[in-house]
Amino acid sequence: KMATSSGRCSVEPPLFGPHTGHDPIKALYPMVNEEETPLPRCWSSKDKYSFIGLTQNNLRVHYKGHGKNHKDAASVRATNPIPAACGLYYYEVKIVSKGRDGINTDMPSKKKNGDVRMSPVNPGLRDDLLPEFVYMGIGLSSQGVNMNRLPGWDKNSFGYHGDDGHSFCSSGSGHPYGPTFTTGDVIGCGINLIDNVCFYTKNGHYLGVAFTDLPPQLYPTVGLQTPGEVVDANFGQAPFVFDIGEMMRESQCRVRTTIQNFPVPDTYGQWQTMLHRMVSTYLVHHGYCATAEAFARSTSQDFDEELTSIKNRQKIQKLVLGGRLGEAIETVQQLYPGLLENNHNLLFMLKVRQFIEMVNGTDTEVRGVSRSPSRPPTHESSPSPPCWSNGRTTDPVPGTSSTPPSSSTTSTPVIQQHTSVIQSTKNVISSGQTSASPVTTEELNQRNAQDLRASSPPSATNGTTPVIHLPVPSGSSSSSSSSSSTSSNSSSNMHDSDTEMECMEANSHHLQETNNSLGDTSHSNGFSNGFSKDIDIQDDENEEAMEVENSVGSRKMCGGNPDAIGRMLAFGKEVQHMSQVLRRELGKNDHNKKILQDAFSLLAYNDPWNSPVGWQLDPLQREPVCQSLNSAILESHHLPRRPPLEICVAHTKQLISLMSRSGIGSCAFASVDSLLGSQQ
């Protein structure tokens, strides 16, 4: 998983890069969960005084009151308060025009004392301009603060005023702070949510801290007081005049240093050993035997578990992730007698999944029907060199379509089908009616993206189903659809590596779900590409066995085999029976009831893959099952259900989101992913 997350990070856009997608505001504050704490994006049309008018998507503010004296002041707040998870928040206001009182004629034109040409070093002469400024305040305020006032005058309200350059901190009298401002000036207001201080900028120049000890949940606020005053706000939708990005990088640097220099009591100080332990337990947990062995050897550690046990678990995981639940259950019963018997709910979950896989056409029970007797399943599960790691490194950028990486197009003729390795094999299943309707890669990709992949029954096609052998044009471009071909051998052979791949993905998927919204989109891509590599290699080895499937066609339940459907239905009854027994013995269980209901619902549709309950057929759904089973096995051997490494990462992410909710700004610069990414 460490490998996954760092790999993933490398394809993430840089934290404060020039752009991320199409939402520059969101890109400024990547750690803000907008579902919980939306960002201020414009002025609120409700939270304002009546003298305020809003135009241009509520970004331009103008004054429309009498503007006789300060009693006519009017303010407007932004739509949302500033989330603490911004870490460093910033917005800018451009003074589009000053009001009619903007030139102060009452004031004696500033005494021009001084600046006489007299000393040897030539002194400059001041431009003799009348001071110009606006009667407005720019700043922050809490919800509920009177809007018939300029920001800064009341409690929980803070403002920098243009007429005198003073800062007003919840008080009617200001302190000298900065220069005055007027038409054409751009005033920026920033809030550092780590130190809880506020600063301003004028035309890109940093003016220094204005307020300290700010309360939480402040809104960007502007207040005007004179007819004719117009200001435009930039909440980040356009580039700022001030270089806030650099300030953010500094904060990030600071937070990282704080973390790295955080004192740890001596008893916990054995970092190296602890880290070795974490890596080792992680490898063991997920059954990466060889790696774990090698790692343990070079770091001179012991396992808590026997090697054979790890290998057994690895085998079972592969079966589950391959959708061969029947075999998996058998193997578990063989290797861990009593485990499932004592854990009815787990067994039930496995059975339900088996049923789903039967519908899918993947489970051994139904696949066996269409399998060539000459190819026993054992042959297929012969280990293949795990090469998924190659695939990982070529992850495309998340969010882009899953076009295969160009590297693979050159390496092998059968490319585009790996966009949907699984799909292609699925096609094979349905090849009974190989309608030659070509499907473009794009479509395949889309389908993948929609998680419509049916799982692949390895070798299911071999021999029995009619397949068309076509020479595949070498380097067939990804745009030319169709030839979604794969050798059944390869798809089965690669199963070893597939499952590992999936397993890995599963883990990363769960982690990502906790905190990383980007993770989801990238997921399917990484997945299919991971596969592609495998196939490429396999194909090279088994070129004679290449088969070409012309169309996707429509998938059929249980691979369209009537016998298999019969078995599936019979099995369904068995599962239902088991459910009743369970309810009798263990009482009502909503979860069990729901998963059974969902599974049975698949039968209600002609094309279950495209049905509202079709998500269950996604191979990804095997992952939680696989994990539960793996955890149960480990638990039965008194080993931890989850590897410490995953727990640690999950804890950290949880803590960061807790920090965000508790208004601790440092969380903005403590992203686990960016930390891992930056270590590369």
Q: Note the residues at the interface with other proteins (CB under 8 A).
A: 111-116, 118-121, 123-124, 126, 178-179, 202, 204-209, 243, 246-247, 249-250, 252-253
Q: How far is the CB of 116 from other proteins (least distance, A)?
A: 6
- 254, HSE (Cβ side, Cα atoms, 13 Å): 15
Dist CA 409 CA 472 (whole Å) = 12
Q: How far is the CB of 138 from other proteins (least distance, A)?
A: 16
Dist CA 614 CA 606 (whole Å) = 11
Neighbouring CB atoms inside 10 A of 443's CB total: 15
Neighbouring CB atoms inside 10 A of 161's CB total: 27
Q: How far is the CB of 666 from other proteins (least distance, A)?
A: 16
Classify residue 375 by its DSSP letter: S
Q: How far is the CB of 254 from other proteins (least distance, A)?
A: 9
* C-beta of 128 vs 213, nearer to other proteins: 128
Q: How far is the CB of 124 from other proteins (least distance, A)?
A: 4
- Contacts with 115 (C-beta within 8 Å, 6 or more apart), sequence order: 123, 124, 125, 126
Q: How far is the CB of 61 from other proteins (least distance, A)?
A: 25
* C-beta of 122 vs 606, nearer to other proteins: 122
Q: How far is the CB of 262 from other proteins (least distance, A)?
A: 18
* C-beta of 16 vs 388, nearer to other proteins: 16
* C-beta of 178 vs 614, nearer to other proteins: 178
Dist CA 456 CA 390 (whole Å) = 21
Which amino acid appears at position 41 of this protein?
Answer: R
Which amino acid appears at position 155 of this protein?
Answer: K
* C-beta of 114 vs 562, nearer to other proteins: 114
Residues in the chain: 680
Dist CA 224 CA 238 (whole Å) = 23
Q: How far is the CB of 242 from other proteins (least distance, A)?
A: 9
* C-beta of 18 vs 204, nearer to other proteins: 204
* C-beta of 55 vs 109, nearer to other proteins: 109
Show the tokens assigned to 533.
Answer: 């590599």
Helix (H, G, I), strand (E, B) or coil at 58: coil
Neighbouring CB atoms inside 10 A of 384's CB total: 18
Dist CA 392 CA 501 (whole Å) = 9
Give the torsion sign (CA, 292, 293, 294, 297): positive
Instruction: Give how far Cα 209 sits from Cα of 178, 222, 470, 580, Å.
Output: 10, 18, 72, 69
Instruction: Quote the strand ranges of 472-596, DSSP E.
Output: 484-485, 548-549
* C-beta of 124 vs 562, nearer to other proteins: 124
* C-beta of 245 vs 463, nearer to other proteins: 245
Q: How far is the CB of 205 from other proteins (least distance, A)?
A: 6
